[in-house]
Amino acid sequence: MDKIEKLHELLEVSAGLFPDNIAVCYLDRSITYHQLNSSSNLISDDLKAIGAKEGSRVAICAPKSIDFVSSIFGILKSGAAYLPVDYSSPIERNKFIIQNGEVSAIIISKELFHYFESEFSFVSDLDNNLVIAKNNNSLSKKSPPDLAYILYTSGSTGIPKGVMYSNSAALEFVNWSSEIFKPSHIDTFSSHAPFHFDLSIFDLFVSIKHGAKLVLIKEEVGKQPLLLAKLIAEQKISIWYSTPSILNMLAEYGKMEKYDFGNLRFILFAGEVFPITQFKVLKNKVPAAVYYNLYGPTETNVCTYYRLTDQLYTQIPIGKVCEHYRCLIVDEEIFIRGSGVMLGYWNLPEQDAFWKDSSNNVWYKTGDLVDIDGSGNYIFKGRRDRMVKRNGYRIELDEIEVALDKHDFISKSAVLGNANSDGQMIISAIILLKTDGEKSVIKMKEYCMNNLPSYMVPNDIVFVEDLPYTSSHKVDYQKLKLLI
């Protein structure tokens, strides 16, 4: 077959090579590659009949399911781009995303459809839980050429922004992943991340490319370490990918010693810093797996990577740049360019996101600050966009978090900066301790003074029983501000 140029062609090729292999399973249901290819063709036909085509977008707002996967490939086959929406988010936020995306149609849970009936007309039932509906409004804005999907992330202004990805850029990542991890049709991939989160691109398209099995993990199971440990063992998952928070929860509370994880070949993590003390706990419980730290914002997907070895670490590096990228360090910030970078933000100006060098090369500014170790690996330091000033010093709040998360008894920390009525910057460290941690403000302050410059030591130490997280398993700082 000619070179693959579209994401949906990955399914078509695997359906020809491995028609009877299980493509996706969820709870007690599974679907073969032949069946998945056929069901996505039917969805594509339905969408084309109501105007979905190249240049348009179709939203999906539903819980994770096999039909969700069929819908993604059906949308791609119609020529449109898919726009996954977090069905559990507030309705008003979802309405904004769907309206902002100017979608021609939606595939949505029946229970949510009534919220959108003023703008969308029912077309057909997709299954017992999903419906297809057509936008009643005329749409004028076309997608950029080759657009495959739009992932909405929280914006610095508080308004969600849509990251646009082309088929060619996504395939660069899929092909790079294939070279690095060399999966095959006998592998079983996890699908822990929600489909509106960029980790899902690896789960979906790398597994499908190789005719492997993809195990969809129900959201409720994904948050319960005892159930999650059992599922990984029973499904014989061989390639796992999630945020470190999930892996830490699994190692600490999943009673992993009860199960056989001999099938786990790779454990991949991304999205946040994995404190070394927590990583060691996991490594001791699954020593045979190969571990990779994958780094990159949604705008680049994975752009650096690091394979962990048995050496001693004070912090896990984010590694070296992926082969299809180039990087540049400007005032400690990592800039990225290459064939895998996003097209831009949907309906938003791009002048702040990109930078041109003297040779007119365009670089994406990640906002992440790094050091370089003696081996040429990048070490994450913090975020430029969470900078505050105190007593004239610039302070990256994430840098304080990185230091706190190295503490043996801290499960997770979150740091906030707020000016008081006098205009003084007050830094608060909100700390979730491990089960054997001691709630001692004095000892925690002493730790901070020993591990941070004096101007970075938090004014307040607050111990909490839980931290709020977004649906993509990152600390929800906006909710945290309301709780403190």
Residue boundaries of the structural domains of the chain: 8-166, 217-382, 391-483
Tell me if 320 sits within 8 A of 191, measured CB to CB. no
Instruction: State the pLDDT at residue 342.
Output: 97
- Torsion angle of C-alpha atoms 283, 216, 262, 223, degrees rounded to 10: 40
Instruction: State the pLDDT at residue 386.
Output: 76
Please name the amino acid found at residue 40. Answer: S
Q: How far apart are CA 52 and CA 75, in angstroms?
A: 8
List, for the chain, all residue ranges whose pLDDT scores fall below the cut of 50: 1, 158
> Do 217-382 and 8-166 fall under one CATH topology?
yes
Expressed in angstroms, the distance from the first to the final Cα of the chain is 58
Question: Can you name the CATH fold of 391-483?
Answer: GMP Synthetase; Chain A, domain 3 (3.30.300)
All residues at 6 or more sequence positions from 12 whose CB lies less than 8 Å from its CB, including other chains: 37
Say which DSSP state 469 is in.
Answer: B
CATH 3.40.630.30 assigned to domain 8-166? The reply is no
Instruction: State the pLDDT at residue 158.
Output: 46
All residues at 6 or more sequence positions from 300 whose CB lies less than 8 Å from its CB, including other chains: 325, 336, 340, 341, 342, 364, 366
Residue 213: what are its φ and ψ, rounded to 5°? -95, 135
Tell me if 357 sits within 8 A of 363, measured CB to CB. yes
Q: How far apart are CA 456 and CA 449, in angstroms?
A: 9
Instruction: State the pLDDT at residue 393.
Output: 64
Nearest to 230 by CA among 239, 238, 221: 221
Instruction: State the pLDDT at residue 190.
Output: 98
All residues at 6 or more sequence positions from 458 whose CB lies less than 8 Å from its CB, including other chains: 400, 415, 427, 428, 429, 445, 448
Strand partners, 464: 432
Q: Which CATH architecture has domain 217-382?
A: 3-Layer(aba) Sandwich (3.40)
Nearest to 64 by CA among 24, 124, 32, 15: 24
Pair of tokens at residue 14: 């695997």
